[in-house]
Structure 1
Amino acid sequence: MQALLAPIKQFLQCETPDEWIAEAIRPEQLSALLIDHCNCELKAAQTAMFLIRKYAIDKASGELLLNWAKPYEEFVYNKQRSVKDFLAREAKKNELIGELKPKVGVDYGPDLIAKMVRLIKEEFHHFEQVLAIMLARDIPYQNLTAGRYAKGMMKHVRTHEPATLIDKLIVGAFIEARSCERFAKLAPHLDEGLRKFYVSLLRSEARHYQDYLTLAQEISADDIAVRVDHFAKVEAELICEPDREFKFHSGRPA
């Protein structure tokens, strides 16, 4: 665990405040923690799909991605949803059926597709894992509005290409790195089942942040260090500032 966390702690400019951990491990916050975590896993998959569709593939390939996401989005937006029925569906719901073809002339297309498809598959799997934990603990799934964390990061994304894509990838790296850091800090305070689950997520989350950074540098003609440093400061402020709403990525409890 420490070997995985060392580069992440160096990448992030601050650790999660102890006040957030104290709030997160309160028994009455368990439902809120798991529900938001569940939503975050799905959002991560949807974001990666958006990046592939917008920047790396043609329309026909985009339809393949939409079909992959369909069972998950039907579950989320169906008010008559059944978690048990959804989880019991065949494993093929988390499979990309067909081959995605990179856009002609997009050099980074194949690498972006490969890294993001693997990320999507893992995030969908994590979404189902959290759902199963919630079902076992009689915690109903809920749709949630986004918190200030991701919105606060996205406000700083530049509005011209390829800078927009580069910045979005850097933002993705920070979200994944913060998730990994919080899983590690939360794990020792949770019951055995949740502790083992959160520790099991560390390796994939650590790789996700590295994949995002690798893609950002591959696409950028310049060293991305300046942009990484900028977003590191933004991210640290969001994590340390008072936050009135408790979320998996919220700041210090107000």
Structure 2
Amino acid sequence: MNQKSDSIDQALQEIHDFLPCATPKQWIDNALANQDLMLIDHAHCEKKAASTALSLMYRYVDNSDLLNKMSRLAREELRHFEQVLAIIDKRNITYCHLTPARYAAGLRKEVRTDDPGRLVDVMVVGAIIEARSCERFAAVVPYLDKELAGFYSSLLKSEARHYRDYLALAVQANQGPVDDRVADFLTIEKQLILEPDSEFRFHSGPVV
């Protein structure tokens, strides 16, 4: 096994240890049965991630570490958006508006309203979303066609780094460990991932 594979395997193990549960097999089955929808929603997720990073840069202009990390993240997420869009176009899928999953909103409703608590919580939520995205890419890769499997595999390293960047910024904003807040949000995340959903989305629960 080469060094790159070792690095990705290590990052995935770290993320599996961090998350409260694995993606249910039913969601994987849903994804395979709705690959066009998965790609469309994935594109929306990448665009939203870039938008979130940019909004943080506008809000926290005096935090140079945040500015640098979010600038890089926004560029990468927009590049991923372009790559997903190219696959969508190549496959003659119509890119369209979708209602968002309840996942991100379910996590963000517990974010505190005043800083520094707000920034800590936003960073923790960002870390969880990036970690789950990475875990889901890895979960579906073995079942996808060669092109899509290769693309999703290529995203694992950057998603894992985004998770670490968000978590590091949370610790910085809190001026210390954030284990308690992470535990609180992971409890919510587990419920959102395991409870059935009415519509399939990249971050939905299983649709039975």
Range into which the TM-score falls when normalised by the shorter chain:
over 0.9
TM norm structure 2: 0.94
Q: Deviations over 1:68-117 (max 9, x none)?
A: xxxxxxxxxxxxxxxxxxxxxxxxxxxxxxxxxxx3xxxxx110011000
Residue 252 in structure 1 maps to residue 206 in structure 2: yes
Match of 1:42 in 2: 47
**Correspondences of 1:99-118 after superposition (within 5 Å):** 103=62, 109-118=63-72
Structure 2 gap ranges (5+): 1-7
Compare CA radii of gyration and give the structure with the larger one: 1
Q: 1:143 deviation in Å?
A: 1.9
CA–CA distance in structure 2, aligned partners of residues 189 and 213 of structure 1: 30
CA–CA distance in structure 2, aligned partners of residues 146 and 30 of structure 1: 17
SS at match of 1:253: coil
Residue 15 in structure 1 maps to residue 15 in structure 2: no
Residue 120 in structure 1 maps to residue 74 in structure 2: yes
**Correspondences of 1:1-254 after superposition (within 5 Å):** 1-26=8-33, 29-56=34-61, 103=62, 109-254=63-208
CA–CA distance in structure 2, aligned partners of residues 204 and 5 of structure 1: 12
Q: Deviations over 1:5-24 (max 9, x none)?
A: 01000110000000000111
SS at match of 2:114: coil
The answer as to whether partners of 2:11 and 2:160 remain within 8 angstroms in 1 is yes
CA–CA distance in structure 2, aligned partners of residues 135 and 169 of structure 1: 33
CA–CA distance in structure 1, aligned partners of residues 154 and 177 of structure 2: 33
SS at match of 2:175: coil
Q: Identity of aligned pairs, percent?
A: 51
CA–CA distance in structure 1, aligned partners of residues 23 and 153 of structure 2: 17
Runs ≥4 residues deviating over 6 A: none
Structure 1 gap ranges (5+): 57-102, 104-108
How many residues are paired up? 201
Q: Deviations over 1:154-199 (max 9, x none)?
A: 1111122110111011000000000000000100100000000000
CA–CA distance in structure 2, aligned partners of residues 253 and 11 of structure 1: 24
Kindly report the root-mean-square deviation, in angstroms, between the aligned alpha carbons of the 2 structures: 0.9
Q: Match for 1:168: what amino acid?
A: V
CA–CA distance in structure 1, aligned partners of residues 28 and 100 of structure 2: 20
Match of 2:4 in 1: none
Match of 1:67 in 2: none
